[in-house]
């Protein structure tokens, strides 16, 4: 048995050590113990400071420098008691994942000793040497100043020996260099716009909160097998590997019990999450072998996104303790499902109403329809933008590539809601609007059925589905920062809600009643947004053609999908909502194109190396064994008998030789294509060149090598195969 196979079996999970980590207490007793939450604040801050801080968190008021000193002192005391020695500003640059630079609390005390120091200044703002984070040219390296600034709405937390302070990351000149900044801006503008529209229906709403409940899919692979695959180690996906005879065709993984080794990992992970205040709730096997999912209770959008970012790094860390590697890549394995990150999105009022829940009376129902229809309008008007917001080199292997689902953003509403909208659209104003004696609006077509509340009519293929009391944006990739999609969705819906208000007010100025104005505008919106409503099978071929006929965005090339950020309509929308200005949009696109280029470039390099230095040498060895055999057959047999007996080895040798030629030729061509693309200065054109002329080789080369995998002696094959990678022992 080769070493990697042997090690994988030998090193089962490190059970003893892990059991010690899992506490015996109830979750409620240790939930959030590593978070500077309200309980900790109350204990470590003065009453006055506590009140000012919680007020700022709840209402978004600014905190002065003086108060920051008090907060920092309390935070430090709390952290020191927990054995913390370092602190860091924790931010979300435009690359994958989060960034942190740790500093120790230590300072000289002036008497030759050391004290632990942490001031309000250090809490509030820092200037990390951020010259190597992508900025799309917003920051020249010679003035590599980027600031990280404290986000009090997301509580500080402790990881290992470090106090982590969630921060935004902005350029010296104020432009956003991260996901958090525009996400917060988009949440604020959505909240305001939704409140204004809510005022049509209810007078006592003061604040609207945007909620996000993500579902994180991931794969686990054995650490030793992972290490034996340079492609997994360097690109997080297998660039080679023939499908296993058994993969997901029996659907046995989805319904199956969680393997005990994985269950140990999950328990350990959940414990860490609870300590960090991440309210994880659901865990289960996913469709593909070795694929799993984790989902929390939904939270306020900015906090939920921080928790998702944090979860991803915790997962990576905890998996190592169990001799696993977690793969967050969207398509680690060909031929089985990829991983997404569903974002369940909704809005709620401070009076406890979910704006996407149909209510008890017809006024509530009209409010419900208003928010659903405006969301549909936003998804319709900003269809290419929403797709761009989830587009990445890695997510493209999941969407719109050879395997379903396609890269088209449509919306599934379910039978009940579709019928309600159809009836709304077709009813006359006299039928629909009857103002009762309380001067409230009555919808002539009756209530939305109660049934809706437990809407089980789910369409799993829809990228933007209504699921009873929320929308579920399912097109996101598993490795993505939800912020990218959420900020686009929030801004688009905010913009649309403002437009709705303008449209309604215009009709009112013409003398129409509020109810009639709302009714007429919604009717027009329902008509206009129809092209994105699709309740059929989103994975079918017919849908693609139909979507094109409907004028939906069907672009498959990621570099071109990013153009959607710079169309006049989108630039105007982001400007109007104050979420991103043109300078930021341009810079962010530069970053996106650059990341795309680098991802494809790395994959091409790794595949070239694997082909020429790992696979082909072994294939040639096997080929020479075959040639030896043929020569020996010739020595032993003669004439027709020789022809007969050597036919198979000769046929195999010929086939192998053809594959070797094809692979080496294409690796050379791929290198040439890269060289040519590298000479292009403009990042957009370069990304297009990488997409059009380099990336196609990845699939083609793979195809030949995967064929070789089936011909060459199993003992000689230098990489773990799919059947090993995909089935945990």
Enumerate binding residues for ligand ADP (CB under 6 A): 211, 213, 215, 282, 295-298, 344-346, 354, 469-470
Nearer to Mg ion, 80 or 287 (CB): 287
Collapsing DSSP states into helix, strand and coil, what is residue 363? helix
Q: Is the peptide bond before 405 cis (omega within 30 degrees of 0)?
A: yes
In the block, tokens 């809407």 appear at 455
Minimum separation from the CB atom of position 303 to ligand ADP (A): 12
Query: Quick check: 35 and 44 in contact, CB under 8 A?
Result: no
From the list Mg ion, ligand ADP, none, partner contacted by residue 323 (C-beta under 5 to 8 A by kind): none
| Cα–Cα distance, 321 to 18 (Å, whole number) | 8
Task: Measure the CA–CA gap between 633 and 679, rounded to whole angstroms.
Answer: 53
Candidates 136-144, 320-328, 342-350, 533-541: pick the segment binding Mg ion (CB under 5 A).
342-350
- Spatial contact of 709 and 604, defined as CB atoms under 8 Å apart: no
For residue 199, give both structure tokens: 């005022």
Q: Which is nearer to Mg ion, 287 or 662 (CB)?
A: 287
- 523 counts as binding Mg ion under rule CB under 5 A: no
704 lies in the binding site for Mg ion (CB under 5 A):
no
Please check whether residue 430 is in contact with residue 550, taking contact to mean a CB–CB distance below 8 angstroms: no
Residue with nearest beta carbon to Mg ion: 342
Nearer to Mg ion, 158 or 343 (CB): 343
Q: How far is the CB of 562 from Mg ion (least distance, A)?
A: 27
391 beta partners:
none
Q: Which is nearer to Mg ion, 343 or 698 (CB)?
A: 343
Q: Which does 282 bind (CB under 5 to 8 A by kind): ligand ADP, Mg ion, none?
A: ligand ADP
For the chain, the first-to-last Cα distance in angstroms comes to: 16
Number of residues that bind Mg ion (CB under 5 A): 1
Q: Which stretch binds Mg ion (CB under 5 A): 121-129, 161-169, 339-347, 390-398?
A: 339-347
| Of residues 94 and 413, the one with the C-beta less far from Mg ion | 413
296 makes contact, choosing from Mg ion, ligand ADP, none, with CB < 5 to 8 Å by partner type, with ligand ADP
Q: List the single partner that 567 binds among ligand ADP, Mg ion, none, CB under 5 to 8 Å by kind.
A: none
Q: How far is the CB of 190 from ligand ADP (least distance, A)?
A: 14
Contacting range for Mg ion; rule: CB under 5 A; set: 256-264, 335-343, 367-375, 649-657: 335-343
Using CB atoms within 10 A of its CB, is residue 573 exposed (0-12), middle (13-18) or buried (19+)? buried
Which is closer to ligand ADP, CB of 238 or CB of 339? 339
Q: Which helix (H) or strand (E) holds 663?
A: helix 639-678
Shortest reach from residue 345's CB to ligand ADP, in Å:
6
Closer residue to ligand ADP, CB minimum distance, 119 or 354: 354
Residue 599 contacts Mg ion per CB under 5 A: no
Nearer to ligand ADP, 253 or 599 (CB): 253
Positive/negative CA dihedral, 91, 93, 99, 104 = negative
Is 44 or 473 the residue whose CB approaches Mg ion more closely? Answer: 473
Query: How far is Cα 50 from Cα 74, in angstroms, rounded to an integer?
Result: 10
The smaller minimum CB distance to ligand ADP, of residues 227 and 455, is found at: 455
CB of 471 to Mg ion, least distance (A): 11
Question: Which class for 219: exposed (0-12), middle (13-18), buried (19 or more C-beta within 10 A)?
Answer: buried
Residue 73's closest CA among 45, 106, 105, 38?
A: 45
Which DSSP symbol is given to 476?
-
Min dist CB 55 to ligand ADP, Å, is 26
Q: How far is the CB of 209 from ligand ADP (least distance, A)?
A: 10
Instruction: Please report how close the Cβ of residue 189 comes to ligand ADP at its closest, in angstroms.
Output: 19
For tokens 């906090």, what's the residue? Answer: 303
Q: Quote the crossing angle between the two packed helices 482-509 and 514-528, to the nearest 10°.
A: 130
Least Å distance, CB 305 to ligand ADP, is: 12
DSSP string, 73-118: HHHHHHHHHTT--EEEEEE-BSSSS-EE--EESEEE-SSSSEEE--
Distance CA 124, CA 120 (A): 6
Shortest spacing between CB 256 and ligand ADP, in angstroms: 17
292 or 500, CB closer to ligand ADP? 292
Contact track, Mg ion, 288-327, x by CB under 5 A = ----------------------------------------
Q: Which range of residues in 178-186, 201-209, 275-283, 336-344 is near Mg ion by CB under 5 A? A: 336-344
Tell me if 485 sits within 8 A of 179, measured CB to CB.
no
Structural contact between residues 633 and 649, judged by C-beta atoms closer than 8 angstroms? yes
Where helices occur in 132-229 by DSSP H, the ranges are 180-198, 223-227
342 binds Mg ion (CB under 5 A): yes
CB of 389 to ligand ADP, least distance (A): 18
Measured in degrees and rounded to the nearest 5, phi and psi for residue 235 equal: -125, -5
- Binding segment for Mg ion (CB under 5 A), chosen from 85-93, 321-329, 338-346, 656-664, is 338-346
Contact 69, 51 (CB under 8 A): no
Which residues are near Mg ion by CB under 5 A? 342
């Amino acid at each position: 048995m080769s070493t990697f196979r042997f090690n994988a079996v030998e090193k089962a999970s490190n059970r003893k050590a892990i059991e010690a980590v899992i506490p015996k207490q109830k979750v409620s007793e240790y939930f959030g113990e590593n978070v500077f939450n309200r309980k900790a604040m109350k204990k470590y801050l003065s009453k006055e400071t506590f009140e000012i801080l919680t007020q700022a968190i709840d209402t978004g008021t600014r905190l002065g420098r003086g108060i920051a000193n008090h907060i920092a002192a309390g935070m430090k005391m709390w952290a020191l008691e927990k054995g913390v020695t370092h602190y860091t500003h924790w931010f979300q640059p435009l690359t994958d994942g989060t960034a942190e630079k740790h500093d120790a609390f230590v300072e000289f005390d002036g008497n030759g000793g050391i004290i632990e120091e942490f001031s309000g200044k250090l809490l509030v703002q820092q200037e990390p040497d951020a010259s190597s984070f992508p900025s799309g040219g917003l920051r020249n390296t010679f003035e590599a100043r980027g600031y990280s600034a404290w986000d009090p709405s997301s509580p500080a937390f402790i990881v290992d020996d470090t106090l982590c302070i969630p921060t935004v990351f902005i350029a010296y000149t104020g432009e956003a260099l991260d996901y958090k900044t525009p996400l917060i801006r988009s949440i604020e503008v959505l909240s305001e716009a939704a409140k204004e529209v809510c005022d049509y229906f209810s007078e006592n709403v003061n604040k609207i909160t945007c909620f996000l409940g993500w579902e994180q899919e991931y794969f686990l692979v054995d650490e030793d097998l992972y290490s034996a695959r340079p492609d997994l180690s360097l690109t997080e996906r297998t660039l080679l590997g023939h499908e296993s005879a058994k993969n997901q065709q029996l659907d046995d993984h989805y319904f199956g019990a969680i393997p005990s080794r994985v269950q140990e990992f999950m328990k350990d992970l959940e414990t860490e999450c609870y300590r960090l205040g991440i309210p994880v709730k659901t865990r289960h096997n996913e469709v593909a072998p070795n694929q799993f999912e984790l989902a929390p209770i939904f939270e306020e959008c900015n906090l939920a996104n921080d928790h998702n970012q944090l979860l991803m790094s915790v997962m990576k860390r905890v998996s190592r303790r169990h001799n696993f590697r977690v793969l967050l890549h969207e398509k680690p394995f060909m031929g089985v499902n990829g991983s997404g990150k569903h974002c369940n999105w909704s809005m709620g009022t401070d009076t406890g109403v979910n704006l996407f829940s149909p209510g008890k009376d017809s006024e509530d129902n009209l409010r419900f329809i208003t928010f659903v229809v405006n969301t549909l309008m936003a998804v319709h008007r900003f269809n290419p933008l929403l797709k761009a917001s989830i587009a990445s080199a890695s997510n493209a292997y999941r969407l719109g590539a050879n395997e379903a689902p396609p890269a088209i953003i449509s919306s599934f509403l379910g039978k009940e809601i579709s019928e309600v909208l159809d009836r709304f659209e077709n009813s006359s104003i006299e039928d629909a609007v009857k103002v009762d004696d309380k001067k409230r609006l009555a919808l002539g077509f009756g209530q939305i059925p109660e049934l809706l509340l437990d809407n089980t009519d789910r369409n799993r293929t829809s990228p933007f589905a209504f699921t009873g009391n929320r929308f579920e944006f399912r097109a996101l990739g598993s490795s993505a920062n939800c912020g990218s999609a959420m900020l686009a969705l929030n801004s688009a819906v905010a913009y649309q809600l403002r437009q709705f208000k303008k449209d309604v007010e215009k009709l009112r100025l013409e003398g129409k009643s509020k109810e009639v104005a709302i009714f007429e505008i919604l009717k027009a919106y329902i008509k206009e947004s129809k092209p994105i409503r699709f309740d059929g099978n989103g994975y079918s071929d017919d849908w693609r053609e139909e979507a094109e006929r409907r004028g939906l965005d069907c672009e498959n090339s990621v570099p071109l999908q990013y153009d959607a950020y710079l169309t006049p309509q989108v630039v105007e929308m982001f400007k109007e909502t104050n979420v991103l200005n043109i300078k930021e949009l341009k810079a962010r696109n530069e970053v996106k194109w650059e990341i795309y280029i680098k991802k494809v470039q790395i994959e091409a390099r790794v595949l070239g190396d694997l082909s020429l230095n790992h696979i082909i040498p072994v294939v040639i060895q096997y080929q020479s064994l075959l040639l030896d055999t043929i020569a020996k057959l010739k020595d032993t047999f003669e004439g027709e008998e020789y022809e007969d007996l050597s036919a198979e080895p000769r046929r195999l040798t010929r086939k192998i030789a053809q594959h070797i030629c094809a692979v080496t030729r294409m690796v050379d061509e791929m290198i040439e294509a890269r060289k040519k693309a590298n000479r292009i200065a403009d990042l957009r054109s370069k990304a297009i060149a990488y997409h059009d002329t380099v990336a196609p080789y990845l699939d083609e080369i793979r195809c030949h090598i995967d064929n070789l995998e089936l011909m060459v002696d199993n003992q000689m094959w230098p990489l773990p195969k799919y059947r090993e990678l995909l089935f945990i022992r």
